Amino acid sequence: MIPTIDWGVIGPVAIVAVTGMIALIVHMITGNSEKNFTQKVTVFGLLIALTSLLAAGGSERFVLQEMVVMDRLGSVGQLLTVFSALIVALVSPAYLEAKRIKLGEFYPMLAWATVGGMIVCCTRNLLVLFVGIEILSISLYVLAGLHRTSKKSEESAIKYFLLGAFATGFLLYGIAMFYGATGSLNMSTLVSYWLHGAPENKILLSLSFALIAVGIGFKCSLAPFHQWTPDVYEGAPTNVVAFMATGGKVGAFVALWNFADSFGHAGRFVGMTIATLAVLSMLVGNVLAMAQKNIKRLLAYSSIANAGYVAVAAASVAIAFRLNHIALIFFLFGYVLTSLGVFVVVLAMAKDGEEPMSLDDLKGLASRSPILAYSLVVFVLSLIGLGPVSGFLGKLFILKDALTANLAWLAVVMVLNSIFGAFYYFGMLRSAFAPAEGDARPISLSIPQTFSLSVCVVGVIGAVVFYAPLLAHLGLR
């Protein structure tokens, strides 16, 4: 029997996939024309997908035997993935022009990377998860090497590819063991085998959990599987990094959370393992970020620390009884908008093949472009988690979850780390408000750049101001 397909659920994924194909064909016909039709087609398609996602909201739906699960977390994850792809597609033309990367294939690849992220967000089936992660990663490997005249970009692509392929091996091995232990690829079968299965089964399941955690941990850049992050972020084109750090991470974070969630509340061992990874990531991220002078490396370590915060949420859900996904949703919302915003600021500063590399290059930003500087203030506050910005809300909810799960020590570590984080985040602001050195020309912003920046600022502040209606719209309360 051919299954009936609920297009409301897989429609957005299909739209983005087809957008990529159409963009590729358009690029084939028009080439690298001045009008940049490829980019326009991609932006248009992503907009349609975004609208369909916003319109689709409703009850939880399972399609094709849980291969696609459209729950709240999944649909918000998809929304954020598509949104970050859209913003990146909007601000990319100016950057690619400035760096003289004349490759229109960037846009179809970006669309397909988005497809991968979307698939990962909405599944409880390990086979589908694997295919989704592969789609996401392989397009990111290629995109990392997009700047072909730069040695650093090539290095970053090769490093990412080799380490990524290695991590994929772990993931696949773990999935195979999962199948061996449960005879199924659905995460929902896990709990009963975990609680009532034979002891040998439990050994196999623990091993499978460890291997899958390595695989997903690599994609989330959790310490100690984080070593690729700073090098890849430093070498890859900044617009690609902007997607890697936001849309590319959302899928992995959601997968980690879903996997931890599928242990029910019985995963004491699992929760403790993830909590260890969380502590390591927060420490590695925040401590090493303090020593960084390079903006992209600093943001890479910051994203490792943020992965640690997500892992805190995942650890809590594996242990505590019936936590829901509000914490993760709010954290992801804040994280994606804030990081995108910071990257838009960095991208907007690129000119004549040059872009800001070190923190010193940020100097004089306040006089060169007050808009950029003051937006940066908002984003930095959100990254630290201070004041009425979405970063604060996300962290607060995660702390609450950790306390519910009796992980008070983990909550303390997280608060301490947030304070560490303040040091280097404020370092960015100190540079931005220092007097200009060298180039002091004002920075003019294009319309897409201004638009993206304002959407991010409004989102970061709006998440707090419109907290209650947002929660109601998400159907969480």
Cα end-to-end span (Å), the chain: 39
Q: Does 141 bind another protein (CB under 8 A)?
A: yes
Shortest spacing between CB 190 and another protein, in angstroms? 17
Cβ proximity to another protein: between 203 and 290 the closer is: 203
Q: Is 339 exposed, middle or buried (0-12, 13-18, 19+ CB in 10 A)?
A: buried
Cβ proximity to another protein: between 154 and 360 the closer is: 154
Closest CA to 327 of 273, 407, 402, 252: 402
Taking residue 207's Cβ as centre, other Cβ atoms within 10 Å add up to 16
- Residue partners of 299: CB distance under 8 A and separation at least 6: 233, 241, 245, 339, 342, 343
Shortest spacing between CB 128 and another protein, in angstroms? 5
Cβ proximity to another protein: between 103 and 272 the closer is: 103
Cβ proximity to another protein: between 3 and 442 the closer is: 3
Task: Give me the DSSP letters along 11-56.
Answer: HHHHHHHHHHHHHHHHHHHH-S-TT-HHHHHHHHHHHHHHHHHHHH
Q: Does 205 bind another protein (CB under 8 A)?
A: no
Whether 404 and 316 have beta carbons less than 8 Å apart is answered as yes
Shortest spacing between CB 17 and another protein, in angstroms? 5
Q: Does 336 bind another protein (CB under 8 A)?
A: no
CA distance 279 to 420: 13
Cβ proximity to another protein: between 176 and 371 the closer is: 176
Q: Out of 149, 406, 444, 446, point to the residue binding another protein (CB under 8 A).
A: 149
SS3 state at 272 = helix
Cβ proximity to another protein: between 46 and 128 the closer is: 128
Number of residues that bind another protein (CB under 8 A): 43
For residues 102-121, which are near another protein according to CB under 8 A? 102-103, 105, 108-109, 112, 115-116, 119
Q: Show the binding pattern over residues 52-91: x = contacts another protein (CB under 8 A), - = does not.
A: -----------xxx-xx-----------------------
Which helix (DSSP H) or strand (DSSP E) does residue 253 occupy?
A: helix 247-261
Closest CA to 411 of 291, 298, 320: 320
Shortest spacing between CB 334 and another protein, in angstroms? 30
Q: Does 162 bind another protein (CB under 8 A)?
A: no
Shortest spacing between CB 221 and another protein, in angstroms? 22
Cβ proximity to another protein: between 157 and 326 the closer is: 157
Shortest spacing between CB 382 and another protein, in angstroms? 33
Cβ proximity to another protein: between 65 and 454 the closer is: 65
- Residue partners of 38: CB distance under 8 A and separation at least 6: 23, 26, 27, 30, 104, 107, 108
Shortest spacing between CB 329 and another protein, in angstroms? 24
Shortest spacing between CB 333 and another protein, in angstroms? 26
CA distance 128 to 65: 11
Query: Cα 66 vs. chain centroid, distance in angstroms?
Result: 23
Query: Cα 194 vs. chain centroid, distance in angstroms?
Result: 30
Q: Does 24 bind another protein (CB under 8 A)?
A: yes
Q: Is 47 exposed, middle or buried (0-12, 13-18, 19+ CB in 10 A)?
A: middle
Strand bridging mode 68-70 / 61-63: antiparallel
CA distance 444 to 421: 31
Whether 223 and 284 have beta carbons less than 8 Å apart is answered as yes
Q: Judged by CB under 8 A, which stretch of 13-21, 228-236, 346-354, 368-376 contacts another protein?
A: 13-21
Q: Does 207 bind another protein (CB under 8 A)?
A: yes
Cβ proximity to another protein: between 4 and 59 the closer is: 4
Shortest spacing between CB 215 and another protein, in angstroms? 17
Q: Residue 322: what residue type? A: R
Shortest spacing between CB 10 and another protein, in angstroms? 7
Q: Judged by CB under 8 A, which stretch of 14-22, 42-50, 398-406, 457-465 contacts another protein?
A: 14-22
Residue with tokens 């959790």: 222
Shortest spacing between CB 467 and another protein, in angstroms? 36
For residues 169-188, which are near another protein according to CB under 8 A? 180
CA distance 45 to 462: 26
Residues that bind another protein (CB under 8 A): 1-3, 10, 17, 20-21, 24, 63-65, 67-68, 102-103, 105, 108-109, 112, 115-116, 119, 125, 127-128, 131-132, 134-135, 138-139, 141-142, 145-146, 148-149, 157, 180, 200, 203-204, 207
